[in-house]
Amino acid sequence: MADRPRHPHKEIEAVVADAERKGWRWRKMGHWGRLFCPHAGRDGCQIGVNGTPKNPEDHARQVMRAIARCPHGMEDGS
């Protein structure tokens, strides 16, 4: 998306871009940002995305797993 900076690690950038396509929103928080699930309520899922992880590949997998575990999914009714 144009309103957020690209992540410096390509693996994490790919995961964040995929999450945005699935309806997740990014906000600048912490060291780089935070992803919020499509469920906009108070009980929606949040995932912190580190800007400088020790192992970018592992961090990308952690974010991907957290997105997959979100119980809210796409709540568009289809």
Q: Which helix (DSSP H) or strand (DSSP E) does residue 12 occupy?
A: helix 10-21
Please state the domain count of the chain: 1
At 74, is the pLDDT very low, low, confident or very high (cuts 50, 70, 90)? low
pLDDT score recorded for residue 42: 84
- Per the structure, the complete domain to which residue 39 belongs is given by 10-69
pLDDT score recorded for residue 3: 83
The C-alpha atoms of residue 23 and residue 44 are separated, in whole angstroms, by 12
Residue 1 covered by a domain: no
CATH number at residue 59: 3.30.920
Read off the pLDDT of residues 7-59 as tens digits, 9 standing for 90 and up.
999 999 999 999 999 999 999 998 899 999 998 778 889 999 999 999 999 99
pLDDT score recorded for residue 43: 86
At 77, is the pLDDT very low, low, confident or very high (cuts 50, 70, 90)? very low
The C-alpha atoms of residue 65 and residue 24 are separated, in whole angstroms, by 14
Residue 19 covered by a domain: yes
